[in-house]
Structure 1
Amino acid sequence: MQLSKKQNEYIVNATHRWNIKSGAVRSGKSFVDTAFVIPFRIRERAGKPGLNVILGVSKSSIERNVLQPMREIYTDKLIGQINSQNIARICGEEVYCLGAEKVSQVAKIQGASIKYCYGDEIAKWNKEVFQMLKSRLDKPYSCFDGSCNPEHPTHWLKEFLDNDELDIYLQRYTIFDNPFLPAEFVEQLCKEYEGTIYYDRLILGLWKRAEGAIYKRFADNPEKFRCEVLDELEEKPQYKQFKKNDIVSIEIGLDFGGNQSGHSFVARGYTDDYRDVIGLMSRRIMAKDTDADIDSNMLDQLFCDFLQDVIDQYGVIVKHGDYVEYCNVESVYYDNAETVLGNSIRNAVEKRFPWMIVRKAKKASIIDRIRCTVRLMGAGRFWITEDCKSLQTAFSDAVWNKDVKDKDERLDDGSTDIDSLDAFEYTIEREMRDLIEEV
């Protein structure tokens, strides 16, 4: 088992009550823990009073980030599965494995004495969970190991790490501290995050505030992301080209606007294996731009007309005898906050386009949606046609909310088109993990 210079430094110096690694993704922070630190700490305290605990964002993230990597090294004979009591047997000892996103999830250990705790993705925890943990490490031999990626500089964890009066060993990582990563992988990852807040945090490992343009690379040069979808490719194209038959999946996002915003429709296409993500067509309907108030019947009509335009422009027709199917126009995802409008849209779409599936949007974390889109843009996997003028404007104008100090938040005060961004993100949020893996 080969370790980097940085990882060996951690093993030697992590002798404090709190031992935390903060820094870039894929920099080797977690590997030294799963390969050496966690088994060593647990075995070192075997037979002593107190609980062993692993805390992560969720039990599934603990399995993915901690237990499975340990199992690959030590086999399932030493690294067990999490049972119905939230306990996994590790190196012959019982270890509680609990999600730290909500206080209620760790109630089972509230009041218990903890001899060892490992923390995964600490900056994503609920602050109250961390506060509770501090009072539970009450043995002379109690200690904590953990790792995190940086967030904003006023984050509660950053304030804890900056407290010189506490017994803390803090080790900082950049992506360049991992000598085992292929150089081309590091180069590509840097390229994906270049010019964004995520470069400072996830490449350089800095606690930086989110400010300015969110999609800076796009805002600086939207033409670089322009593409055309054609029946046949041209010999000397001005823009990136795709054949219509290459678009294997078209889905439509719909975000309902309020009094100060508009209803936004966005059609998104995928090429095979999620390789390319294409904004095919977008439209924003503002009440002030119509001659009458937009009621549910008018909205149904406008949206179905938009679907027909998408089908006419980008749909691939397959005939089965007398039956015609547009095989690549598949689903609609609508804003689940508006149940009545959503039900009306579903009924209208199913009546006019009976093969199409209409579902509520998942509405995943906005930050996760932003980060996925930023990486797609940086990796050269995101494209937009001339039929997406409202979506292009939305990406160009999107900025961070500078008035919010304690979290990263997209500005949503009516001055920018958040609705079109939401509508687009509804079409990719269910495949974000696959999209990022493909990137």
Structure 2
Amino acid sequence: MDLAGLPLSPKQIRSIARSQNHRFSIWSGAVRSGKTIASLVAFLIAMAQAPSSGLVLIVGRSLQTIERNILDPLQDYALFGALANQVQHTRGATTATILGRTVHLIGASDSRAEGRLRGLTACLALADEMTLLPEEFLNQLLARLSVPGARALGTTNPDSPSHWLKRKYLDRARELDLGHWHFTLDDNPVLEDAYKDALKAEYGVGTLWYDRFILGLWKAAEGAVYGMFDESRHVVDIVPAIQQYISLGVDYGTQNPLHAVLIGQGVDGRLYVTSEWRHDGRATMHSLTDMEYSERLRDWLASLRPPGSHTTGVHPKYIVVDPSAASFITQLHRDRMYPVPAKNAVLDGIRMVSSLLASDKLLIHRSCTELIREIQGYVWDPKAALLGEDKPLKSTNADHGLDALRYGLVTTESLWRRQIEEVA
């Protein structure tokens, strides 16, 4: 197997060589740190040496993540040269052919996925994004590696130190015949310093995400969710001309508040929360119907005057609404506002907002007083942290604007991501 052209660091080479001495090997650490490439090389070597009996498996959160994180790199000629031609896969298929051998691709999005492993016998498995796999699934996977000489390889970004993967596997590496290699961003030999510096700035020194995704540390989510938020940096009195109003993010409530935030992209390329609208039925002792909410939001948008404009009226490209608000979404359709249900992956949204704040690419107009108040009081749930989970502390009236902000940004990322990356 010719891997001479692949740029590997001494650390990657050592991990690949030493992984052959363990039944189970895990590469953990920062994003873009080189851990995945090391695991893929180790997997190809393991495939060439694998017992002839038993199945070869690649498992991950979903078939799509397996294709993106594992198969696409393996088929990259720039990385693997002629070996890339020995990886055949049809998009969407649940098998691939690697080095002439059939490989079964198994997505594991919840605990029910454990049933997909029952009854099979495996000789080799590669597990992607292990902290996202159900614990029961990994337990069953290891039990299925029953062929003499069978091995498991896996990669993961770090999570909470209380996460089951850390407590039950990494912390018990010696007694489990488990090889573990930790990588930081600076361990990747092919990344340019300018890219590393940009990535470090994006996550923000001292934040949860910096410690996990730059330093590769298993750190608990504690304290402020948006600890990088600084009113003197992130709150502005003047918004520049807006080249496009990207979205109106809406978190829906009847007794709880309905909170809407208007997000635009300025001529400087940055994102701005230019305005907010909020109605708290509990505080005002007056709940509004879906029809009344729709009417008031439309009147509010029509009354807004964009910066530098002499006319009123704002028309965001998307009205992005809490996906659970089915009746309100129906009402907006009736009123020809054409809403879209929001993508609601909470942690992904929090990471996105954190990154934008840390790199000063998301700013908030001072008139958005409720959103600013919520950001400053948003904290991680300490009880969830003890269980190895990352969850913000839920409040009845202190996170609706933040939910609306997540909705409006995550769901429309394709509209603004490229321009944001060009901002110095």
Give the CA deviation at 1:202: 1.0
Q: Which residue of 2 aligns with 1:417?
A: 398
| Residue pairs, 1:1-400, within 5 angstroms | 1-14=6-19, 15-34=21-40, 36-45=41-50, 48-72=52-76, 73-74=80-81, 77-82=85-90, 86-105=94-113, 107-159=115-167, 160-163=169-172, 164-193=174-203, 194-218=205-229, 221-227=230-236, 242-244=240-242, 247-259=243-255, 261-271=256-266, 275-290=269-284, 292-310=286-304, 312-313=305-306, 329-348=316-335, 350=336, 356-363=337-344, 365-400=345-380
Rounded to whole Å, the distance in 2 between the matches of 1:42 and 1:314 is: 61
Rounded to whole Å, the distance in 1 between the matches of 2:142 and 2:294 is: 54
User: In structure 2, what residue type is equivalent to 1:224?
Assistant: R
Retained in 2: the 8 A contact 1:401–1:411?
yes
Rounded to whole Å, the distance in 2 between the matches of 1:327 and 1:344 is: 20
* 1:299–1:431 CA distance, 2 compared to 1 (3 A): closer
Rounded to whole Å, the distance in 2 between the matches of 1:265 and 1:144 is: 48
* 1:433–1:21 CA distance, 2 compared to 1 (3 A): farther
Rounded to whole Å, the distance in 1 between the matches of 2:32 and 2:92 is: 31
Of 288-297 and 397-406, deviating more is: 288-297
Give the CA deviation at 1:156: 1.0
**Per the alignment, in what secondary structure is the counterpart of residue 242 of structure 1?**
coil
Q: Residue deviations 1:52-77, cap 9 Å, x none? A: 01111111111111111111124653
Rounded to whole Å, the distance in 2 between the matches of 1:99 and 1:4 is: 31
* 1:271–1:61 CA distance, 2 compared to 1 (3 A): farther
User: In structure 1, what residue type is equivalent to 2:317?
Assistant: E
Rounded to whole Å, the distance in 1 between the matches of 2:380 and 2:218 is: 16
Q: Which residue of 2 aligns with 1:232?
A: none
* 1:345–1:33 CA distance, 2 compared to 1 (3 A): same
Q: Residue deviations 1:223-251, cap 9 Å, x none? A: 3123466xxxxxxxxxxx5223xx22331
User: In structure 1, what residue type is equivalent to 2:325?
Assistant: E
Rounded to whole Å, the distance in 1 between the matches of 2:355 and 2:224 is: 15
**Per the alignment, in what secondary structure is the counterpart of residue 379 of structure 2?**
coil
* 1:120–1:271 CA distance, 2 compared to 1 (3 A): farther
Give the CA deviation at 1:17: 0.4
Of 125-134 and 185-194, deviating more is: 185-194
Rounded to whole Å, the distance in 2 between the matches of 1:251 and 1:25 is: 29
Q: Residue deviations 1:61-117, cap 9 Å, x none? A: 111111111111246531111476611001111001111223444644421111011
User: In structure 1, what residue type is equivalent to 2:233?
Assistant: K
Give the CA deviation at 1:150: 0.7
**Per the alignment, in what secondary structure is the counterpart of residue 411 of structure 1?**
coil
Give the CA deviation at 1:279: 0.7
Rounded to whole Å, the distance in 2 between the matches of 1:252 and 1:61 is: 30
Q: Residue deviations 1:167-217, cap 9 Å, x none? A: 101111122222332222222222222231111111111111101111111
User: In structure 1, what residue type is equivalent to 2:208?
Assistant: I
The alignment's TM-score, normalised by the length of structure 2, stands at: 0.88
Give the CA deviation at 1:359: 2.2
* Unaligned stretches of 5+ residues in structure 1: 230-240, 319-324, 351-355
Q: Residue deviations 1:106-150, cap 9 Å, x none? A: 644421111011111111111111011121011221001111011
Give the CA deviation at 1:289: 4.5
Q: How many residues get paired?
A: 405
User: In structure 2, what residue type is equivalent to 1:174?
Assistant: T
* 1:84–1:201 CA distance, 2 compared to 1 (3 A): closer
Rounded to whole Å, the distance in 2 between the matches of 1:147 and 1:384 is: 37
> How large is the Cα RMSD of the aligned pairs?
2.6
Give the CA deviation at 1:281: 0.6
* 1:436–1:332 CA distance, 2 compared to 1 (3 A): closer
Rounded to whole Å, the distance in 1 between the matches of 2:134 and 2:179 is: 22
Retained in 1: the 8 A contact 2:270–2:362?
yes
User: In structure 1, what residue type is equivalent to 2:228?
Assistant: R
Of 422-431 and 203-212, deviating more is: 422-431
The alignment's TM-score, normalised by the length of structure 1, stands at: 0.85
Rounded to whole Å, the distance in 1 between the matches of 2:351 and 2:369 is: 22
* 1:12–1:104 CA distance, 2 compared to 1 (3 A): same
Rounded to whole Å, the distance in 2 between the matches of 1:307 and 1:289 is: 23
Q: Which residue of 2 aligns with 1:427?
A: 408
* Unaligned stretches of 5+ residues in structure 2: 1-5
Q: Residue deviations 1:380-400, cap 9 Å, x none? A: 211111232222222221111
Rounded to whole Å, the distance in 2 between the matches of 1:62 and 1:30 is: 12
Retained in 2: the 8 A contact 1:227–1:242?
no
Q: Which residue of 1 aligns with 2:381?
A: 401
Give the CA deviation at 1:336: 2.5
Identity across the alignment (%)? 27
Of 387-396 and 162-171, deviating more is: 387-396
* 1:343–1:423 CA distance, 2 compared to 1 (3 A): same
